[in-house]
Structure 1
Amino acid sequence: MRMAAASNGAPLVVFDFDKTIVDCDSDNWVVDALGATRRFDELLRHLPWNHAIDAMMGELHSEGKTAEDIRGSLRRAPLSPHVVAAIKTAYALGCELRILSDANAFFVDTILAHHGLADYFSGTDTNPAHVDAAGRLRIRPYHEFGAAAHGHGCALPTCPPNMCKGKVMERILLQEEAAAAAAAASAKSRRRRAVVYLGDGRGDYCPSLKLRGGDYVMPRAGHPLCDLIAASPPAAAVRGWAGFEDLARVLLGIVDGEIARAAAEEGAGAGVVVVVPARQEALMPQAVRVPN
């Protein structure tokens, strides 16, 4: 299902995962579902989060919990039908979609596959994870840190030691600039496409600061990213959202606007007046079945 990025001006959309695509923290969801909340809280007293969730998976394995038990809990994680509809509609309009998450590959992949969404995304940057030969889920940091590694080197206190999303966003933006330069050389485009970033937490602030004028950041209202942006805004335009129906409305409004702007620029270059009407259809998501 994956396709090459459209040349119609549709933006690149980068999603956080926890509390943005799914309405929960996926680590806590699994720990709570498997009855290990108290033990996980104890681990967090003396381990960084990423190391604690890996250790927690080890303890669950020693108690007889399997990778399939973990998958089963993840399949019950709450995911709004409005998010599903927004993903599918943005994709149909020509957006390239990516995930940038401090969850982990096993959790993200399981949930996306369960809801039939995996093929809508061109890539995922998250903490690596795999099931080892003994059947134990291992979760590693995206950026190795500790005595044997230097970590990501970002000085922003909102970035956890295992992942600086800003470093990843810098790489994504460099790739976008290179693609825009190549397109300009072949007279296919005049500017790079906009980047839209959706997130909620403290770790989403650093990538928001990497965005530039012409880009967009969509912070979830009532969450730490919204407060951080209010205190020190990024260069990107800020478009907040309060709930998942709102997320869909705001995101698709940005997509429509960027496509319309690209069409107008192309028409102006050709000496043609282009009128692009806004989409009038209501966003009607299909229900997402979550098994009991």
Structure 2
Amino acid sequence: MSNIVIVFDFDKTIIDCDSDNWLIDELGFTDLFNQLLPTMPWNSVMDRMMMEFHSHGITIQEIENVLHRIPIHHRIIPAIKSAHALGCDLRIVSDANMFYIQTILKHLGIIECFTEINSNPGYVNQQGRVRILPYHDFNKNSHCCANPCPPNMCKGLIIDRIQDTVSEVDNKRFIYLGDGAGDYCPSLRIRERDFVMPRKNYPVWDLICKDPSLVKAQIHGWCDGEELEQVLMKLINKIMIEENAKFISSDCKLQTLSTPVFETLPKPLSVRLS
């Protein structure tokens, strides 16, 4: 296991569209969705849409089949598999929902690559329909974030929790990838020695570009799945080289300190390279 934690958004980052809109459009409920959207929060609208699907006889299998066809850039899966093979700790923080994400990742054969998925609750109830609930219950209280986070999810709070649970002794380095306005808050909380990968010309990119100095981490943009893979692999390689250099430097120092003071003839150091 490497010392790298990679946190992915899901919609328009791992997949190449918004999963809610994809499902609604493909099942032919766009007009009803547009009518309901101004009347209630997004999560509530999607929960209502699932009730409408069920009442119209649309089965869970039909919903899953639509999700299986969701567009994804052909270099995303290789990028995820490569990062996982290198021992990186891969996690998801997404404003989609657990039902979508698990359904799609299982179909793509990459769900085992992720150690943790953080998203809105989504599950099939006893009546056989999907329920979608907010991550933060905005009916009881708000997360009170000053950044442009939706009321149901502050990704910054989730990133804080992930960083707090990772021991400083483990010397973990973070890479955060996202596209939306909700990815701005966690981008501000990633530390100086870490990396933020905003999708170019998407809301998080525009927010960061207004004042890049507010982001403590190094910023590396990407435009599509191919560039995501290239940038991500370069950053993983950069971190590994830096950490190996620290290890070699520490190893040399320890060996130098352990050399007896009465030895007058220099001897070559045996440096461990891996």
Alignment TM-score > 0.5, same fold: yes
How do residues 5-24 of structure 1 correspond to structure 2 at under 5 angstroms? Answer: 6=1, 8-9=2-3, 11-24=4-17
The one-letter code matched in structure 1 to 2:176 is Y
For the residue of structure 1 that corresponds to 2:81, the secondary structure is: helix
The one-letter code matched in structure 2 to 1:200 is D
Give the C-alpha shift of residue 81 in structure 1: 2.2
1:210 and 2:189 matched: yes
Contact 2:20 2:46 (C-alpha < 8 Å) held by counterparts: yes
Contact 1:211 1:236 (C-alpha < 8 Å) held by counterparts: yes
Q: Which residue of 1 aligns with 2:158?
A: 168
Instruction: Deviation per CA, 1:195-236: give whole Å up to 9, x if none.
Output: 000000000000111111011110111101101011122101
Distance 2:227 2:142 in 1: 36
Distance 1:207 1:90 in 2: 21
Distance 1:236 1:51 in 2: 35
Distance 1:221 1:145 in 2: 30
Write 1 or 2 for the structure with the bigger share of helix: 2
1:58 and 2:58 matched: no
Contact 2:90 2:115 (C-alpha < 8 Å) held by counterparts: yes
CA RMSD of aligned residues (A): 1.4
For the residue of structure 2 that corresponds to 1:150, the secondary structure is: coil
1:153 and 2:132 matched: no
Contact 1:263 1:274 (C-alpha < 8 Å) held by counterparts: no
Distance 1:138 1:151 in 2: 21
For the residue of structure 1 that corresponds to 2:39, the secondary structure is: coil
Determine what percentage of the aligned residue pairs are the same residue: 45
Contact 1:264 1:274 (C-alpha < 8 Å) held by counterparts: no
The one-letter code matched in structure 1 to 2:231 is V
The one-letter code matched in structure 2 to 1:270 is D
Give the C-alpha shift of residue 275 in structure 1: 7.5
Distance 2:111 2:273 in 1: 35
1:254 and 2:244 matched: no
Q: Which residue of 2 aligns with 1:48?
A: 41
Q: Which residue of 2 aligns with 1:188?
A: none
TM-score by length of 1: 0.85
Q: Which residue of 2 aligns with 1:289?
A: none
For the residue of structure 2 that corresponds to 1:110, the secondary structure is: helix
For the residue of structure 2 that corresponds to 1:126, the secondary structure is: strand
1:130 and 2:123 matched: yes
Give the C-alpha shift of residue 151 in structure 1: 2.4
1:106 and 2:106 matched: no
Instruction: Deviation per CA, 1:10-51: give whole Å up to 9, x if none.
Output: x10000000000001000000001000111111111111111
Q: Which residue of 2 aligns with 1:86?
A: 79
Instruction: Deviation per CA, 1:62-112: give whole Å up to 9, x if none.
Output: 111111111010000011220000000001111000000000000000000
Larger radius of gyration: 2
Distance 1:235 1:255 in 2: 19
For the residue of structure 1 that corresponds to 2:87, the secondary structure is: coil
Give the C-alpha shift of residue 127 in structure 1: 0.2
1:231 and 2:222 matched: no
Poorly superposed stretches of 4+, deviation over 6 Å = 272-276
Distance 2:211 2:138 in 1: 28
Give the C-alpha shift of residue 243 in structure 1: 1.1
Which protein has greater RCO, CA pairs closer than 8 Å, 6+ apart? 1
Distance 1:107 1:13 in 2: 20
TM-score by length of 2: 0.90
For the residue of structure 1 that corresponds to 2:223, the secondary structure is: coil
For the residue of structure 2 that corresponds to 1:251, the secondary structure is: helix
Q: May I ask how many residue pairs the two structures share in their alignment?
A: 255
The one-letter code matched in structure 2 to 1:230 is C
Give the C-alpha shift of residue 274 in structure 1: 7.7
Give the C-alpha shift of residue 180 in structure 1: 2.4
